[in-house]
C-alpha cells in the first residue's frame, strides 16, 4: 500500500501528538506499565514511523511509566536443529554466536517496534535467548530481572512481573492473535494435554560461550490442541480467547490512526485466559501432549 493510500485511509498524517490523544482516549495514562503490540501498516501513515509511536507512548505514560515489548531472537536456532545432518550441527555448534541482549536482533516476525524500542538508550532486555522481552522506563529493570531459563513464560517471567505490576496490554492496531500475554496463561493453566518443547541455544556464561538446554511450553505450535474449542475459521486460538474477553467486558476498544486498538488489564486478561483454557480444554478432553 503506497503512502497516499495510507494517508487517505487514516484521515491524514498520524502524528505523535494525535497518537497520544487517541491513546489517552483508549484509557492509557500517566504512570502506566504497558506491554504493546503494533501493526504499523494498520495505523496509517505515521509521521516519524516507529520513533513517533514510541514517543507517543512515552508522552502518555510519562517518566513514572514503563513500556514493554516481546523481542525473541531473530537468529535463534530452530527447535529441530538436533535433527540436522551431523556436519551441519557441528559447524553451527562451533561458530553460531551466543545470544547477546545488547546486540542480538529482535525477531523480525514481531514487527519493527520491538527492535526500535530495545535499541533506545536506557532500554533493558531480558536474558532468555528464545523468549526475550525488552522494557524502557521506570520499572524496566524490575520487569526484566531474573528471567527464568526454563519455563520462560511462566512464574518469575517478565509476563508474570507485568501482571504483578498491575500492568496493561495494548494491541495498537495489532491482530488479536499476537496477544503474547496469553502464553503466560497457557503456562499457568491446569488443563489436559499441555505441550512442551526442549531445545538448545548458545548463551554467554562468565564471559564464555556455552550451549544450554531449555524447556518451555510450545509457544510456536500451541501449548494445547485447541482444534475442538475454537471455530474452524480462526487461524490462531488467541483470537478466539481475546474476542471472548472483549465480549465479557474485559478491555476497551477505540480508534488509533486508521486502526482499531484494544487495551487490557494484564491481571484480568490472564485470569480470563486461564479460566477459558481450563474450562474449555478440560470439557473437550484435549489431546495429551508428549
For residues 130-142, average pLDDT: 98
Strand, coil or helix: 138 = coil
What's the rounded Cα separation, in Å, for the pair 71 and 73? 6
Q: Quick one: pLDDT at residue 235?
A: 85
> Does residue 120 surpass a pLDDT of 90?
yes
Higher pLDDT, 108 or 284: 108
What is the H or E stretch that residue 205 is in? strand 196-205
Q: Is 209 left (phi over 0), alpha (psi -120 to 50) or beta?
A: beta
In 3D space, the residue among 169, 195, 273 whose CA is nearest the CA of residue 229 turns out to be: 273
| pLDDT > 70 in the chain, percent | 97
Q: Quick one: pLDDT at residue 221?
A: 83
What's the rounded Cα separation, in Å, for the pair 53 and 64? 18
What's the rounded Cα separation, in Å, for the pair 273 and 88? 40
Mean pLDDT in the chain? Answer: 94
Predicted confidence band of residue 272 (pLDDT cuts 50, 70, 90)? very high
215-239 pLDDT, tens digit each: 999 998 889 999 989 988 888 999 9
| pLDDT > 90 in the chain, percent | 89
Q: Quick one: pLDDT at residue 53?
A: 98
- Angle formed by the axes of helices 181-188 and 266-284, to 10°? 50
What's the rounded Cα separation, in Å, for the pair 40 and 30? 23
**Whose grid coordinates read 471455530?**
231
For 144, residues 6+ apart whose C-beta sits below 8 A from its C-beta are 124, 125, 126, 127, 133, 134, 135, 158, 161
- Taking CA 100 as the corner, what is the angle to CA 94 and CA 102, rounded to the nearest 5 degrees? 150
Strand, coil or helix: 13 = coil
Query: Which phi and psi angles does 26 have, rounded to 5°?
Result: -70, -25
Give the rounded distance of the alpha carbon of 5 from its chain centre: 29
Cell of 134: 525488552
For residues 85-99, average pLDDT: 97
> Does residue 7 surpass a pLDDT of 80?
no
Ranges of each domain in the chain: 3-284
Taken in order 169, 263, 239, 269, the sign of the CA dihedral is: positive
First CA to last CA distance, the chain:
44
Amino acid at each position: 500500500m503506497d503512502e497516499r493510500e495510507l494517508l487517505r485511509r487514516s484521515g491524514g498524517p498520524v502524528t505523535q501528538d494525535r497518537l497520544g490523544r487517541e491513546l489517552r482516549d483508549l484509557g492509557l495514562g500517566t504512570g502506566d506499565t504497558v506491554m504493546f503490540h503494533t501493526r504499523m501498516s494498520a495505523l496509517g501513515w505515521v509521521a516519524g514511523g516507529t520513533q513517533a509511536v514510541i514517543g507517543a507512548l512515552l508522552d502518555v505514560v510519562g517518566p513514572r511509566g514503563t513500556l514493554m515489548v516481546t523481542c525473541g531472537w531473530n537468529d535463534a536456532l530452530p527447535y529441530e536443529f538436533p535433527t540436522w545432518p551431523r556436519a551441519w550441527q557441528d559447524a553451527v555448534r562451533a561458530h553460531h554466536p551466543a545470544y547477546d541482549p545488547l546486540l542480538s536482533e529482535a525477531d523480525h516476525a514481531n514487527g519493527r517496534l520491538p527492535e526500535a524500542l530495545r535499541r533506545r538508550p536506557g532500554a533493558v532486555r531480558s536474558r532468555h535467548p528464545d523468549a526475550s522481552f525488552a522494557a524502557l522506563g521506570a520499572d524496566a529493570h524490575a520487569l526484566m530481572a531474573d528471567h527464568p531459563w526454563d519455563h520462560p513464560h511462566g512464574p518469575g517471567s517478565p509476563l508474570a512481573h507485568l501482571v504483578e505490576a498491575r500492568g496493561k496490554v495494548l494491541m495498537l492496531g495489532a491482530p488479536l492473535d499476537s496477544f503474547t500475554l496469553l502464553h503466560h496463561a497457557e503456562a499457568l493453566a491446569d488443563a489436559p494435554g499441555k505441550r512442551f518443547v526442549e531445545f538448545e541455544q548458545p548463551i554467554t556464561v562468565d564471559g564464555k560461550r556455552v550451549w544450554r538446554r531449555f524447556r518451555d511450553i510450545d509457544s510456536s505450535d500451541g501449548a494445547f490442541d485447541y482444534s475442538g474449542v475454537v471455530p474452524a475459521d480462526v487461524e490462531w486460538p488467541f483470537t478466539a480467547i481475546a474476542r471472548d474477553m472483549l465480549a465479557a467486558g474485559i478491555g476497551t476498544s477505540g480508534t488509533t490512526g486508521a486502526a482499531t486498538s484494544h487495551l487490557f488489564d494484564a491481571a484480568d486478561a490472564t485470569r480470563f485466559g486461564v479460566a477459558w483454557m481450563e474450562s474449555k480444554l478440560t470439557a473437550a478432553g484435549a489431546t495429551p501432549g508428549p
